[in-house]
Amino acid sequence: MCGVDVLDLARWQFGITTVYHFLMVPLTIGLAVLVAGMQTAWVRTGDVKYLRMTKFWGKLMLVNFAMGVVTGIVQEFQFGMSWSEYSRFVGDVFGAPLAMEGLVAFFVESTFLGLWIFGWDRLSKRVHLACAWAFSLATIASAYFILAANSWMQHPVGVELVDGRPRLTSIWAVLGNNTALTAVPHAIAGCFAVAGAFLVGIGTWHLCRREPEDQPVWRASVKLGGVVGLVAFAALALSGDAQGKLMFEQQPMKMAAAEALCHTEQPASFSVFAVGDVSRPDCESVKSITVPALLSFLAHNDFTTEVRGIDQLVAEYQRAYGTNYPVDERLGELSGKPVDYVPNLPVTYWAFRFMIGFGALSALTGAAVLWFTRKGRTPRSKWLPRLALAGIATPFVGNSFGWIFTEMGRQPFVVAPNPSGVDGVWLFTARGVSGVTAGEVLTSLIALTTVYAVLAGVEFYLIRRYARAGVAGVMPPKDTDDTEPGDKLAFAY
């Protein structure tokens, strides 16, 4: 009994903290790079408009950065705390990208961010700009390393099995895992979609208020955000398609779960929208709007490929990985019970659709705003700024559902088996959990959820406050009666 409780609680805890962390991360990554770009434009052209953009968007980036940092700390230790058996199993492989992330990316990010915040008057313009690029590129490097680690759990490569545990044989295989090489562009494009929608939302709101000062700032921000959002959506579609094709080969059950595809089809049709309970294994009660043969194309680039359904895959998985969990007291209620190889279908089915839907919505909003503000126009409409503000949420939602889909789609495995990999390199989630009490995990679940919720409220309040105030809120007017010029710090907390 205890085992099951710990398992469920640990899964909820990891899910909540990770989804929360990934609300902050995309905004940080996307915005950091865009702010570095704005500062570059200022250094190269000397146009004060770009300096004002840098200061304004930079401040919002910093308010968000703090939350990204502190929620990331928890992630680093959760593996050992709640998933110690998993950590022992994968440590030889999984620890390496994690440590590299710390040594190569976190140090650069944190150090150069400090230099950037406080260094406006201490560093030359060029060195200060270099600091902006250092930390924004380090955020991308950090994403690469952690996604390489995650991709190894989805598709383990570069290992041999020694004493029942995977042992690293090639770090290049892990860092060059094709799963990672498609996940990184997809995730980074998702980050830019967030940053783009953020610029469009807040920029349009200010633009439509027709404030006399800073019209050029808001116009340039909206344009930049809109273009970035559209390019990001194109990149999301392309990289997502590549990921789908890999998923077809590497994690066929996840592919079937994305579609709630009960029976093998050839050619397979893509379900756009379903009415009814997709979790029913027979599919009889589900009415689905489908596009014929599209799923075959998504899976394999032709319209005739067979796509295996859940019933066939369950039989295959049972043959390969056993029908029952081993008898082991650490598995609690699951000990000796049959393994359910089917992920939570309503979650995978709908998360997949929401991911695509909200991503598209975000791009549409960006396109609409670009259209209505074309050639220096300022629309008088009341609904456009509202639409743009609401549009800020869409890529966040899309990102979250994308991660929920990819993580819950690999259940019941925490390390999913690689069909063309080494036998035995996989682990049931139920076997990865720590030998701690349910009370401990429950305490951390409640504590972290509460602290995160409170801090999210504070962050939202601050972002809203600074976003409303515009550039004037972050750039003090120059003091004229400064008795000791050059003595004051340019910035202090």
Q: Which is nearer to other proteins, 320 or 469 (CB)?
A: 469
Shortest spacing between CB 329 and other proteins, in angstroms: 11
Number of helices followed by number of strands (H, E) in the chain:
16, 6
Q: Which is nearer to other proteins, 8 or 277 (CB)?
A: 8
- Is 33 a residue that touches other proteins (CB under 8 A)? no
- Residues between 68 and 87 with contacts to other proteins, criterion CB under 8 A: 69-74, 76-77, 79-82, 84-85, 87
Is the distance from CB of 366 to CB of 200 less than 8 angstroms? yes
Give the x-and-dash track for 463-482 against other proteins (CB under 8 A). Answer: --xx-xx--xxx-x--x---
Q: Where are the beta strands (DSSP E) in 254-401?
A: 270-275, 287-291
Q: Where are the beta strands (DSSP E) in 112-264?
A: 159-162, 165-168
Q: Which is nearer to other proteins, 377 or 468 (CB)?
A: 468
Number of residues that bind other proteins (CB under 8 A): 86
Q: Which is nearer to other proteins, 73 or 275 (CB)?
A: 73
Handedness of CA 127, 128, 132, 134 (dihedral sign): positive
CA distance 86 to 429: 8
Instruction: Using alpha carbons, select from 429, 431, 433, 412 the residue that is nearest to residue 328.
Output: 431
- Residues between 38 and 67 with contacts to other proteins, criterion CB under 8 A: 62-63, 65-67
Shortest spacing between CB 423 and other proteins, in angstroms: 19
CA contacts within 13 A on the Cβ side of 250: 26
Q: Which is nearer to other proteins, 325 or 401 (CB)?
A: 325
- Residues between 134 and 163 with contacts to other proteins, criterion CB under 8 A: 162
- Residues between 168 and 207 with contacts to other proteins, criterion CB under 8 A: 168-169, 171
- Residues between 347 and 366 with contacts to other proteins, criterion CB under 8 A: none
One of 111, 264, 312, 449 touching other proteins (CB under 8 A)? 111
- Is 104 a residue that touches other proteins (CB under 8 A)? yes
Shortest spacing between CB 25 and other proteins, in angstroms: 15
Shortest spacing between CB 449 and other proteins, in angstroms: 12
Which DSSP category does 324 fall into? B
Query: What's the token pair of residue 362?
Result: 């975000």
CA distance 432 to 430: 6
One of 4, 123, 370, 422 touching other proteins (CB under 8 A)? 123
Shortest spacing between CB 54 and other proteins, in angstroms: 16
Give the x-and-dash track for 407-446 against other proteins (CB under 8 A). Answer: ---------------------------xxxx-xxx-xx--
- Is 107 a residue that touches other proteins (CB under 8 A)? yes
Residues with Cβ within 8 Å of residue 283, at least 6 apart in sequence: 260, 262, 263
Ramachandran assignment for 98, one of left (phi > 0), alpha (psi -120 to 50 degrees), beta (any other): alpha
One of 117, 256, 339, 345 touching other proteins (CB under 8 A)? 117
Q: Which residues make beta-bridge pairs with 160?
A: 167
One of 29, 108, 132, 278 touching other proteins (CB under 8 A)? 108
Is the distance from CB of 222 to CB of 374 less than 8 angstroms? no
Q: Where are the beta strands (DSSP E) in 356-462?
A: 413-415, 427-428
- Is 112 a residue that touches other proteins (CB under 8 A)? yes
Instruction: Using alpha carbons, select from 108, 110, 188, 107 the residue that is nearest to residue 147.
Output: 188
- Residues between 284 and 303 with contacts to other proteins, criterion CB under 8 A: none
Handedness of CA 432, 438, 442, 444 (dihedral sign): negative
- Is 96 a residue that touches other proteins (CB under 8 A)? yes
Is the distance from CB of 412 to CB of 66 less than 8 angstroms? no
